[in-house]
Structure 1
């Protein structure tokens, strides 16, 4: 094994982005993925302008733009009163302000673009059935211990192995993730089955008491992505469990008929109980560093999980190429990222409480405050997230 390679635990969006970012700086890497096949589960994800900044830095800008659906607005609906609370126009003014568009993509399509770019790059090796269980290190490198009993050596190890990261367990030694009690159900609806009066070119959120519904078009308008979430105080993590539509509908009997009708059209529902962690600044242990959900797992409510992982990847490569000392480079990477990702983690929780799920007077206050904002004020509100490139 080439000891000059950076080892990357995890072949998801964050891990592949890290490999591509390093390759852009001339740094070779080996991606170690525990699954037998490289791929992504799930359906749609939203990509803000900061994601497109990253695509360009990763060398996949053209491919990424080609697979995206460019929506016209972010639309917030009242799931009880059945009316629009507010919207954010994503047209020319938004793009001019932030330098890139807002789009939605199928998670598998995005992963596929990153995977092909990795497969085509001579500085990137990919290996499956290679779970990283832990590591040992000295002043010259890192030895990743695999589940097979094998040891793989490299110059550094990046833990991009997700919410349940085994690399993080050794770096941080912390407790399991926080179970939010929010249960998300996902489905994909063929275009012709989506109610005709809701076929909006928008990322639409129906906000209701202890629940919300999100839908938007995907895959060249062939399907609609449907994600519904119910704050049902679920006590334990669950990931990808199939459930009948009757179970999904239980959490939405109190919302308006039009919102309920969306759920009736869903098929092949799967559920996840959402988890996150409190922000930390302990991302680095010598030649080992964390990235993406391994470093800062967050709730879905700001649609920034994949975007933050890709920003991490670009900043990691920038930092490693800027310092002679690898350890110094990893620390600089962490210092550049901790506050920004902590802000997104905490604001994602707050969005769930104060925008997505409030009821009574709290919901009325939300509606009043959000409806009062002009489009220019919305752009100002989003400037901290999209205004820079997120990589400085």
Structure 2
């Protein structure tokens, strides 16, 4: 027998974006029902970079203090050439950054942020959380939305928010597309800081770039763990093989790098790897009483460090528009899209060429890139103001 439950606002997906949205909306006085297909609320992955645009949203959500206790405050980000070891450029991330943008730049473990959001949602009486709910169908009616789930669960909602990630089921209401594989693969993991096989540059975020590869490193969990992500383009993928992005390919790509990079890549866990995807930007991610957010709406390559950050912006913006239009949810969702679509599309479109700049192979292009990067000062924020500065009201 099908069990139907009517809820005013239903969120599909219990990742960072979904939980942040539940919290933001509940703080406006609206009851929220959130369903997640997994049996538990968990985050797959390791480190997370959080710019001022996102810590500003965490302040709005009331979780920034808890986040800062679990996070690391890096003093700088440094980009180095993976083949020569030369410093190419940097970005000051300490007090100068915070003075400019009003909020800090943090790095932390993804699961720590998820747990902080989950704890805040659990403490909110107007939020109901349910696991083991896999969406099988979505039916949009004139004044409500029906969500069918496996095991004979059915929800009738006045508003539905799709926060169900890269392979979103709700996205099919808008477009019949598939994730776009970049051909790059990431090996990622953390280890105790004392076991790191190379020197750790204080609490810096360190990025090593080379031909069709990069290595990202920084401490997390209040400095107890070191996060490393080794990324490379798989020639096996390019040749159409079913098995690609293997540890053997990882070692071969990193063989020509300087010793700290080679040793670091060799120490990253081989237990699992992640192909890197994005999607083409949508023309719209609101339809009547249904809206998408986070990776369901605008998945992007990770090079800007903005996936979770943009989901947090989405969450707060959506709640703000529901407050601005309390009696007209369709107008609230339309206003949310109007505010967010240009911003998230810009991030999606900027990520691909920025990745190409990191991964240049032509020696002349590499030399020109390096010359330009060496010429800029670490406290020159002109190229990142669009990401981190407070958005106009």
Contact kept, 8 Å, 1:182 with 1:233, in 2: the verdict is: no
Query: For 1:186, what is the secondary structure of its paired residue?
Result: strand
* 1:270-299 alpha-carbon deviations (Å, 9 max, x no partner): 211111011112201111110000000000
Change (3 A) 1:369 1:161: same
Q: Quick check: 137-146 or 270-279, which moved more?
A: 137-146
Conserved 8 A contact 1:212-1:357: no
**Residues 159 and 289 of structure 1 are in contact (CA less than 8 Å); yes or no, is this contact kept in structure 2?**
yes
TM-score by structure 2 length?
Answer: 0.93
1:4 shift after superposition? 4.9
Distance 1:81 1:269 in 2: 29
Aligned-residue offset at 1:255: 1.5
Equivalent in 154, 165, 170 of residue 167 of structure 1: 170
Q: Select 2:120's aligned residue among 113, 117, 120.
A: 117
Closer, same or farther: CA 22–272 of 1 in aligned 2, 3 Å: same
Conserved? CA contact 2:300–2:307, under 8 Å: yes
* 1:358 Cα deviation after fit: 4.2
- Equivalent-residue separation in structure 2 for 1:35 and 1:104 (angstroms): 26
Equivalent in the alignment of 2:102 = 99
* Contact preservation (8 Å) 1:98, 1:387: yes
Q: Describe how 1:186-205 pairs up with structure 2 within 5 A.
A: 186-205=188-207
Structure 2 residue runs of 5 or longer lacking an equivalent are none
1:18 Cα deviation (Å)? 0.6
Q: How big is each residue's C-alpha offset from its partner over 1:173-199, in whole Å with a ceiling of 9 and x where there is no partner? A: 322111111111112222122134234
Instruction: Answer whether contact 1:242 1:271 (CA < 8 A) is retained.
Output: no
Cα offset for 1:382? 1.1
In the alignment, structure 1 segments of 5+ residues that lack a partner are: none
Deviating more after overlay: 346-355 vs 189-198 = 189-198
Give the C-alpha shift of residue 344 in structure 1: 0.8
Question: Conserved in 1, the CA contact under 8 Å of 2:189 and 2:229?
Answer: yes
DSSP 3-state at the match of 1:22: helix
What does residue 291 of structure 2 align with? 289
Q: Which runs of 4+ in 1 moved over 6 A?
A: 241-244
Number of residue pairs aligned between Structure 1 and Structure 2: 385
Q: Deviations over 1:93-126 (max 9, x none)?
A: 1110011111100000000000000001011000
Distance, in Å, in 2 between the alignment partners of 1:183 and 1:266 is 13
Post-superposition Cα deviations, 1:351-370, rounded to whole Å, max 9, x if no partner, equal 11013444411111111111
Compare 218-227 and 129-138 and name the one that shifted more: 129-138
Q: TM-score, normalised by structure 1?
A: 0.93
Is the contact made by 2:76 and 2:91 (CA closer than 8 Å) also made in structure 1?
Answer: yes
Distance 1:212 1:391 in 2: 34
Q: Is the 8 A contact 1:245 1:269 kept in 2?
A: no
User: 1:271 aligned to 266, 270, 273, which one?
Assistant: 273
Distance 2:68 2:200 in 1: 25
